[in-house]
Chain A
């Protein structure tokens, strides 16, 4: 079979393009460590979050060296806790669940974005940098008050975080 030289050229272009796409996704996974939201968490009873040790009291707690866990409940029409306060330059794992309907959990303008399904726990780990305030919003239509469903994520300095925690414990 005879193939024109130009046609060979653009076949090669197409293969290069596919390799570029696969290569950059591979780079993203290996270099910056981009991961997907997995279904690794067990199911829970959305009607009994009050009895769940993680979600009875939505909070942020330290779980390792510079590693924090945030247990967040989404409900019509807010997030709890709000604001979610975490210290700067740390690794934060967010465990988010819903006690009523499907919600979204999107830290506005960032890649931290997941669905929140009643009965399921969405787990995403992110690395936060300098002190900053992020908006948090629901991006799945969840009812009449959906448009007002928002929260905050505050990344604060380590001193401020320590002060807040001391205040919380003594209070």
Chain B
């Protein structure tokens, strides 16, 4: 087990990402990111700035 990890580490150190590509994690983070951006746009630009009587001073 430890030998395998050591081997992998050495491969990574050499610059190879071929063995470990967490596509699922990347996709999950992309979805989170999209939700955050959409929620922010909705909250700030539509709900907040879209309401009447914006305080300007």
Q: Which of A13, A28, A37, A111 contacts B29, CB < 8 Å? A: A13
Interface residues in B, total, Cβ within 8 A: 26
| Cβ–Cβ contact B55 & A24, under 8 A | no
A161 CB, nearest partner CB in chain B, Å? 17
Total interface residues on A, CB under 8 Å, equals: 36
Question: Do B40 and A126 touch (CB < 8 A)?
Answer: no
Which secondary structure dominates chain A's binding surface?
mixed
**B57 interface neighbour in A4, A125, A129, Cβ under 8 Å:** A125
Contacts known (A2-B13, A2-B15, A20-B40); A111 close to B57, Cβ less than 8 A: no
Given contacts A2-B12, A4-B17, A17-B33, contact A93 B57 (CB under 8 A): yes
**A14, closest chain B residue (CB):** B33
- Given A17-B36, A20-B40, A21-B40, A28:B49 Cβ within 8 A: yes
User: Which of A34, A113, A129, A134 meets B56, CB within 8 Å?
Assistant: A34
The distance in angstroms between the C-alpha atoms of A91 and B54, with both chains bound, is 11
| Closest residue of A by beta carbon distance from B29 | A10
Question: A4 is contacted by which of B20, B36, B53, B54 (Cβ under 8 Å)?
Answer: B20
B33 touches A35 (CB 8 A): no
> Are A124's CB and B52's CB within 8 A?
no
B22-55 contacts to A (CB < 8 Å): 22, 25-26, 29-30, 33, 36-37, 40, 44-45, 48-49, 51-55
Question: How far, in angstroms, from A110 to B45 measured CA to CA in the complex?
Answer: 14
**Chain A residues near B56 (CB-CB < 8 A):** 32-35, 91, 125-127
Known: A109-B52, A112-B55; 20 extra A-B contacts, CB below 8 A, are A2-B13, A2-B15, A5-B17, A9-B26, A32-B49, A32-B54, A33-B56, A33-B57, A34-B54, A37-B55, A107-B53, A110-B51, A110-B52, A111-B48, A111-B52, A124-B57, A125-B56, A126-B54, A127-B53, A134-B53
